Structure 1
Amino acid sequence: MGRNWAITIGIDGYRNLQRLNYAERDAEAIQSFLQQELNVQTIYHFTDNSPPIPQDYGPAIDSYPTYATLRRFFRIRFEEPFLKSGDNLWFFFAGHGKRHEDHDYLMPIDADPGDEAEKSTWIPLSYITGRLRRSGADNVVMLIDACRSDSGRRDSTGFGQEKQQGVITLFACSPWESSYEIDELQQGAFTYALLEGLQLEGEGNCATVERLYQRLRQTVPQITQQYKQVQQTPYGVIEPPTKYHLILLPHKADFADINTLKMDAYRAESGQELAEAQQLWTRVLAVSSDDSEALKGIGRLAHASNTLDSITQISLAKPFYGDPPKSISLHHDSAQAVSAAHPQAVPVNPISSRAERNRSDLIKLVNDFWIEGVLRKSLYHEVMLGLELHLRPDTVDVPLRDMVVHQPLIEDLQLLPSTQIDKVFEDLNRSLLVLGTPGAGKTTTLLSLARVALQKAAANGAEPIPIVFNLASWTERRLPIEAWLLDELKNKYQIPVKIAQPWIANDELMLLLDGLDQVELSHQADCVAALNTFLEQHWVAIAICCRVNDYNALDQHLHLRGAVELQPLSEQQIQQFWLSAGLGPSLMAAGMQQDLELQLLARSPLMLNVMALSCEQSLVSFAHTSNHSTDRPYIQLFDHYLAQMLARPTRNGPYTPRQLLTWLTWIAQVLVQQRQVEWWIERLHPSLLSRRSDRLLYDLGVRTVSGLLFLVASLPVGLLVFLLAGNITLVQGLGSSLIVGTLFFLPFELAGIIAQWFPRWLAIAIIVGLTAVTTSQIPALVGKNVLIASIIVSLTIALPAALAGSLLGQTNKILLADRLSWSWDKARYGVGLGLGVTLIISLTIAAFGYGDRSLSDAFTATLLIVPAVLPLTGLTRSMTIPPTQLPNQGIWQSLRNALWIAIIVFVPILLTGTVWGLVKQSSLGIGLSFGLTFALPLALATGLAKGGIVCLQHLILRILLYRQGVLPWNYSRFLNDAADRYLLHRVGGAYIFMHPLLLDYFTENPDKFHNIKHSR
């Protein structure tokens, strides 16, 4: 186990500064804790009344904390290293501190605050840090409870801004706050909370730096609010960032704490950071001295750097943790898990051309969806408002691993421009919460960040790809965030799971999550918890948007590295907007200055854009007609906006205003009920049918129409058989085809009925078995060859028909087909499988002794199975990203799949039948007749199973919804018309309302549109 040394300094009786009351008491309390709890071997204790510090050799060290004493101590004691890697050095200071000319200073007892020119009695914090690093310990922890007074005012502001490289520094307060002493506790607030946290036992202990810091950030503000009614929030500087997992209290650490250090070590090895990896493995050994993984890691590093001799100097104590954990999984920086038994650096493979193409396609999709489709159309004449951002560090709980200090870009925290949101994002280490009131510009700010990030990602393959999601959809299934992201990428962006999984696992995406406030209220806390769990496991670039009041109502904060709140527009910004938009100041003067409510609305970027879009001629009419009787004045502005937008000529009409309002209101109501924000044509669902009779009609229609297709398709086949066979009458041709059609129809329908109560595979098995038994009991059909007939009919007719029909077990589920591509390898496998099945069946028949002719007929008939198996194996899910997405693309994709599969099945079976006719009957007509009789129903069955039923479900549903009056027949044309009127935005194949407030507007007053006059 590593050794612990410490330095504690507490000063009350300042000669030239305000006297303190409890700094000396705080230092003594820390000294006592270190001696009793951590068994610290050596403590150098400096206070007003502490005794001299005895030494093994030479005179005792004076402990009175003057400038000369402290300076001499740090100079002499830390001249040479006396500790080693794995040891801990603690430094505690309670007293006054000062910030001057961008440097931090600790004030000894004789410090002269007026000596700003020479600073001859001030000790630079950077000097102390530098000397502590010379000790040889790689774990240096500095606890600074400085800059405090009874009044709560410091001598200067900004203490703690200077980074202290290579150490962990925890300050009692943030740079712009004060540190307080609490008379009721007779201690400083920070030290009181520090000791309380260090002494915690059980699951909530503070064994690691991360947990201690989180505890301090939580309890210190509570203490100062309770006793002083002021704000004091501890502040940390961690250099390097890997030290956030440092185990401070080994006797309280658990397996998870040790495993985290191992993960850091593996990650450092894979990144060729060998010095850092050695420190991390050494930390593991300092806690669990015979850990096999750590020993192997040290050995690998020694071999790699040829420094094996230095490793033998590490002292190992008896372990107290028991058996080490067996394996560690890397979730972030490696594409695969690292085996604990044989850990090795993860090789970095070159990016394949397919991976580059997928990356490029995703960048294009995001740009088309969100930048061209939403951002540009959200800005009036593309005028970008420079909103002011207010930093809100109090709204996030920053994990210590992320508390590497990044100073704000601009000193004034109130005046960060949103036009530099990308710089703010980088400054906060790519982890940001964006807060604002409704219409404040949160989504626009998020998309502005996406636009800059897309440019970076396109230019640099190492940059993460920004991608936008709306958290409203999380409510539906409430999955872990990784699983939810996979679903969103697959369903919203059409990205195959095999492509999306490594992107998420390796943190290759920049997650831009909008609409936390749109998550169902009862599940918002769960969503925050799920996000925090995800953030604990991933070092990912992320920005999240939420309405400020909704976020403030939550009990738990997000674990992000920073937050900003968008501020309302100033009068000067509003004036500049009118000028930049080309509308002129006279318009504003004529309308806005007549109406105070209008001026207040204009402070919202959304409402200002609405005014510009709807009131290009004049604001006067709106100002005169508005009565502001509602508690939400934006309602009347939306009334005016809607009237103007409905009067605009578009290329997609013609629709009456009443139709547009009716259809849009229905969409809005459904979106609110389903807690969604995106409207997809292909995701229309039977549950949208409001009348029970319509739902029954839908179910009956899907089952009946799909089944009758077999009978209807058999009629032209019968006619062709009559024309081709020559020696067959029309009645015989139609009759034989109808018999085959019925043989397909019955298993198809029965399988659908059975699958309502049983699993699909069981329904298929029941139908195939019943078909075999039934066939064997029909003497006219079977004759003596019972086995042959049963097998042929069951496998060539009942099996594919039941396979398709079983999909009707739940007609209320519309499962869109995946995009498919052709695989010759899998196709060859399918051919081999089909031939193998054919051979097995034929040999089985031969074993029963039915003769050569029966064997020949069976082989020929069962050969028809091969083409049916072929498309099920040769066609595989596409592993590419679609370059574009169109409305209703899922249905059109399902239709394409069904047609291609039907053709692939139809043609080989037709050819097989033709060859059989030529070989066995010496007749092309008979061969074509035989092939057609089986080819069409088999093709129909496989086509229905692979997308056809989905299209049929969608068609019948659209007809019924059209009859219900909630949508037009040409749905995409209507939605595009609404987008042209700036009521909707098109996002790829989906549509969203121009703003959530407009969505609320349609849902909260659906009946008011009957009284609004519109003209075209």
Structure 2
Amino acid sequence: MNERDRHNRSVMLQRIKTYWLVGVLQESLHGAEIIDLAMAYRPSAVQNHQLQVQSVAAGFAYGESFDQPLPLGTPIVDVYDEAGGTLLIMGEPGAGKTTTLLQLVSQLLERAELDESKPIPVVFGLASWPEGQPLGTWMVNALSNNYEVPRQLGQIWLQNGVLLPLLDGLDEVDVERREACAQAINQFRRTRPSLATAVTCRSRDYEALTTDLMLAQAVVLQPLSMDQIDDYLASVGKRLAGLRAALQTDGTLRELAESPLMLSIMTLAYYRMPENAAISLGERGMGRQMLFEVYVERMARYRDGDKLYAPSDTTRWLSWLAAEMYKHNQTLFFLEGLQPSWLKRPLQRSFVKRLQRLLGGIIGAVGVGAGLLGLLLSGWDVLVIGGLIGLVTVVITAIFGIIPPFRPIKWRQVETVEAVGWSWPWSLLGGSLGALGGMVVGGLALWLSGLLHVAENVPWMLLLPVLGAGLLVLDRALLQNDMKIRTQPGEGINHSRLNSVRVGVVTGVLTAVVLTLSLVVANFLEISFQWGELLPFLLGTAVYLGVIGGLMHGGLAVLQHRQLVKLLHQDGLVPDDYVQFLDYAAERSLLRKVGGGYMFVHALLLDYFRDLDIDV
């Protein structure tokens, strides 16, 4: 393993630890101990020929739904090892499936940190899987979108067994796609039978499938016992004595508390009440929906910071976020993931028009500026040329969505540029093609200048091949490179802004230097030209390419993101200080911070907000 591979591996390990162990597992405990969940084997839930043989030998008819209880306190990593690294984790909603999976991540991550030959455990939320896409392809895309792993590197890692995929939430896939998703998992298992894999799913949703997963073993998480509930509340503190008493007398509340999620929600909602507040958690008939209402209302009103949003605004904004995450099959939200498709349809058209006007203004200003400089130095003909170049560029950008001479603009897709690297093979190829194209354009420019008697003393056949080579080198050689750790919200946008400035400044300066050197060579070769005519061209080209280089390497994403958030705010869907609000919601345990992103504390809470009848 070379130094670069070791660096990328180290970054990925740290990212998994930050995202899932610090950001989710530790935050979900709120200072309490992890509850040892009771588990039972359910071998009939998976396709495993060896288990079939063992079941028949034991006197069971394979396919019968029988559970084999495990000793309380059995570590999930022991169950995983016993299953040979392929395991299905089942349970009821809120039973602790994701928490159990993250406990497994913790143990596997520790192994990977100590031994470079061990694979890196990576959590994938299955909700975003699109029907018809091979699971491996989807994983590579998810690595890029959620973990900022370059697609080429992600593909290599997956092929070489560097990653250990942990697939969370088969039940969170739309019911119309769920069967196909299970089949895609099995197809992936057939192509990579030696690759360790774990999957989580709600018991009822899995049992409704006709496709059993090709895994070695399945375990079912059991409801909490009253002793476990009481021990957990005792570990949190004396302040929950009232809740413990309510659970003893209220059977409905006690039944809800058998779910680790519901117990956690009761604990937080109760713990953050004022000391002298009346207890309402133990009221008769309180179900899950009502418990969520109490939880959200109390968390939204909980004061422990300087900024307080109105509970109605908090609920409305989170309801919109939950609906959009569900619509776009996301369980993890990054600020960088905001796309124009999240806007209402009329606003999507407004977004494109605003962006076109903004880019047109920027590009047109560069052309006119170069022309005005030419007017000062050489006369009206250079002003006309500069203005025409700017006008043509604006028209091409507006009509065809292309910034000459670069790639087409993706008006409706925000693509951040968070890391920039250099490719020498692509630079050589781009330089050769650019020089060839520049010679063709240079010949055309030479003919037109003679025909129109404008800028006849410009060495077009020298300048334009050099310029063309530089253009395609810039366009082709700058690539997304090594991984960087994203730990703060909006960090991808900030990286894009920084890369935009860097690329823009370097491009502009290098363009000016290279063109100046070309003119020095022309002077050495005794090619006649006038510096006054060429200076506006030189400076205008340097500024134009600097601006375009910056836009295409992060600047465009920054402009798109700014316009997008502005439109969402004007429509009342997000506050103007969105990151502060998301942090506020995370402080109140409505969201969780996962690295530089956010997720709802549980899929059930996302469902609750999504189903609220709020006009957003």
Q: TM-score, normalised by structure 1?
A: 0.54
Q: Residue 89 of structure 2: SS of its match in structure 1?
A: strand
Q: Which has the higher contact order (CA 8 A, sep 6+)?
A: 2
Distance in 1 between residues matched to 2:276 and 2:204, nearest whole Å: 31
Distance in 2 between residues matched to 1:672 and 1:418, nearest whole Å: 35
Distance in 2 between residues matched to 1:589 and 1:506, nearest whole Å: 51
Distance in 2 between residues matched to 1:644 and 1:985, nearest whole Å: 17
Contact 1:578–1:585, Cα closer than 8 Å, also in 2: yes
Contact 2:93–2:604, Cα closer than 8 Å, also in 1: yes
Alignment of 1:372-391 (within 5 A): 372-391=22-41
CA deviation string 1:321-351 (max 9, x = no partner): xxxxxxxxxxxxxxxxxxxxxxxxxxxxxx2
Contact 1:453–1:465, Cα closer than 8 Å, also in 2: yes
Distance in 2 between residues matched to 1:602 and 1:589, nearest whole Å: 11
Match of 1:367?
17
Match of 2:567?
960
Match of 1:544?
199
Instruction: Specify whether residues 470 and 691 from structure 1 end up closer, same or farther in structure 2 by C-alpha distance, changes over 3 A only.
Output: closer
Contact 1:598–1:623, Cα closer than 8 Å, also in 2: no
Contact 2:364–2:394, Cα closer than 8 Å, also in 1: yes
1:718 Cα deviation from its structure 2 partner: 4.7
Q: Are 2:256 and 1:601 equivalent residues in the alignment?
A: yes
Match of 2:352?
699
Q: Residue 324 of structure 2: SS of its match in structure 1?
A: helix
Distance in 2 between residues matched to 1:720 and 1:404, nearest whole Å: 86
Match of 2:325?
671
Match of 2:136?
482
Match of 1:868?
471
Distance in 1 between residues matched to 2:145 and 2:345, nearest whole Å: 29
In structure 2, what residue type is equivalent to 1:812?
Answer: R
Instruction: Specify whether residues 686 and 739 from structure 1 end up closer, same or farther in structure 2 by C-alpha distance, changes over 3 A only.
Output: same
Instruction: Specify whether residues 486 and 916 from structure 1 end up closer, same or farther in structure 2 by C-alpha distance, changes over 3 A only.
Output: closer
Q: Are 2:79 and 1:453 equivalent residues in the alignment?
A: no
Alignment of 1:839-988 (within 5 A): 856-878=459-481, 880-914=482-516, 919=523, 927-988=534-595
Contact 1:374–1:987, Cα closer than 8 Å, also in 2: yes
In structure 2, what residue type is equivalent to 1:712?
Answer: A
In structure 1, what residue type is equivalent to 2:351?
Answer: Y
| Counterpart pick for 1:820 among 420, 423, 429 | 420
Instruction: Specify whether residues 892 and 431 from structure 1 end up closer, same or farther in structure 2 by C-alpha distance, changes over 3 A only.
Output: same
Q: How many residues align?
A: 594
In structure 2, what residue type is equivalent to 1:702?
Answer: L
Match of 1:710?
363
Distance in 2 between residues matched to 1:437 and 1:575, nearest whole Å: 21
| Counterpart pick for 2:302 among 648, 655, 658 | 648
Distance in 2 between residues matched to 1:832 and 1:589, nearest whole Å: 76
Contact 2:317–2:573, Cα closer than 8 Å, also in 1: yes
CA deviation string 1:439-477 (max 9, x = no partner): 111000000010011111111122221110111111x34
Match of 2:391?
742
Match of 1:433?
88
Match of 1:179?
none
Match of 1:197?
none
1:890 Cα deviation from its structure 2 partner: 3.8
Match of 2:151?
497
Match of 1:316?
none
Instruction: Specify whether residues 689 and 379 from structure 1 end up closer, same or farther in structure 2 by C-alpha distance, changes over 3 A only.
Output: same
In structure 1, what residue type is equivalent to 2:394?
Answer: F
1:372 Cα deviation from its structure 2 partner: 0.3
Q: Residue 232 of structure 2: SS of its match in structure 1?
A: helix
Contact 1:823–1:876, Cα closer than 8 Å, also in 2: yes
Q: Are 2:213 and 1:610 equivalent residues in the alignment?
A: no
In structure 2, what residue type is equivalent to 1:706?
Answer: L
Match of 1:38?
none
Instruction: Specify whether residues 403 and 883 from structure 1 end up closer, same or farther in structure 2 by C-alpha distance, changes over 3 A only.
Output: farther
Q: Residue 563 of structure 1: SS of its match in structure 2?
A: strand
Distance in 2 between residues matched to 1:598 and 1:814, nearest whole Å: 46
Return 5+ residue gaps in structure 2 as ranges: 56-66
Distance in 2 between residues matched to 1:656 and 1:608, nearest whole Å: 27
Match of 1:286?
none
Distance in 1 between residues matched to 2:239 and 2:305, nearest whole Å: 29
Match of 1:473?
128
Distance in 2 between residues matched to 1:652 and 1:561, nearest whole Å: 52
Contact 1:575–1:585, Cα closer than 8 Å, also in 2: no
Contact 1:914–1:924, Cα closer than 8 Å, also in 2: no
In structure 2, what residue type is equivalent to 1:668?
Answer: A
Alignment of 1:518-557 (within 5 A): 518-538=172-192, 539-557=194-212
Distance in 1 between residues matched to 2:8 and 2:518, nearest whole Å: 46
1:706 Cα deviation from its structure 2 partner: 1.4
1:935 Cα deviation from its structure 2 partner: 2.3
Instruction: Specify whether residues 684 and 464 from structure 1 end up closer, same or farther in structure 2 by C-alpha distance, changes over 3 A only.
Output: same
Q: Residue 613 of structure 2: SS of its match in structure 1?
A: coil
In structure 2, what residue type is equivalent to 1:705?
Answer: L
1:606 Cα deviation from its structure 2 partner: 0.9
In structure 1, what residue type is equivalent to 2:206?
Answer: Y
Q: TM-score, normalised by structure 2?
A: 0.87
Distance in 1 between residues matched to 2:214 and 2:352, nearest whole Å: 48
1:596 Cα deviation from its structure 2 partner: 1.9
| Counterpart pick for 2:606 among 999, 1003, 1012 | 999
Which structure has greater helix proportion? Answer: 2
Contact 1:380–1:612, Cα closer than 8 Å, also in 2: no
1:381 Cα deviation from its structure 2 partner: 0.7
In structure 1, what residue type is equivalent to 2:570?
Answer: R
Q: Are 2:409 and 1:807 equivalent residues in the alignment?
A: yes
1:530 Cα deviation from its structure 2 partner: 1.1
Distance in 1 between residues matched to 2:312 and 2:126, nearest whole Å: 32
| Counterpart pick for 2:283 among 614, 621, 626 | 626
1:375 Cα deviation from its structure 2 partner: 0.2
Instruction: Specify whether residues 903 and 401 from structure 1 end up closer, same or farther in structure 2 by C-alpha distance, changes over 3 A only.
Output: farther
Instruction: Specify whether residues 843 and 636 from structure 1 end up closer, same or farther in structure 2 by C-alpha distance, changes over 3 A only.
Output: closer
Alignment of 1:199-238 (within 5 A): none
Let me know the Cα RMSD of the aligned residues. Answer: 3.4
Distance in 2 between residues matched to 1:453 and 1:646, nearest whole Å: 36
Distance in 2 between residues matched to 1:906 and 1:620, nearest whole Å: 65
Contact 1:578–1:584, Cα closer than 8 Å, also in 2: no
Distance in 2 between residues matched to 1:751 and 1:844, nearest whole Å: 23
In structure 1, what residue type is equivalent to 2:504?
Answer: A
Match of 2:62?
none
Distance in 2 between residues matched to 1:978 and 1:986, nearest whole Å: 10
Match of 2:61?
none
In structure 1, what residue type is equivalent to 2:107?
Answer: V
Contact 2:446–2:460, Cα closer than 8 Å, also in 1: no
In structure 1, what residue type is equivalent to 2:292?
Answer: F
Return 5+ residue gaps in structure 1 as ranges: 1-350, 406-411, 753-763, 765-799, 1011-1016
Distance in 2 between residues matched to 1:840 and 1:360, nearest whole Å: 48
Q: Residue 278 of structure 2: SS of its match in structure 1?
A: helix
Q: Which moved more, 1:420-429 or 1:999-1008?
A: 999-1008
Distance in 1 between residues matched to 2:157 and 2:181, nearest whole Å: 22
Instruction: Specify whether residues 646 and 751 from structure 1 end up closer, same or farther in structure 2 by C-alpha distance, changes over 3 A only.
Output: same
Q: Residue 621 of structure 1: SS of its match in structure 2?
A: coil
1:914 Cα deviation from its structure 2 partner: 4.4
In structure 1, what residue type is equivalent to 2:571?
Answer: Q
Distance in 2 between residues matched to 1:837 and 1:364, nearest whole Å: 46
Contact 2:439–2:464, Cα closer than 8 Å, also in 1: no
1:567 Cα deviation from its structure 2 partner: 0.8
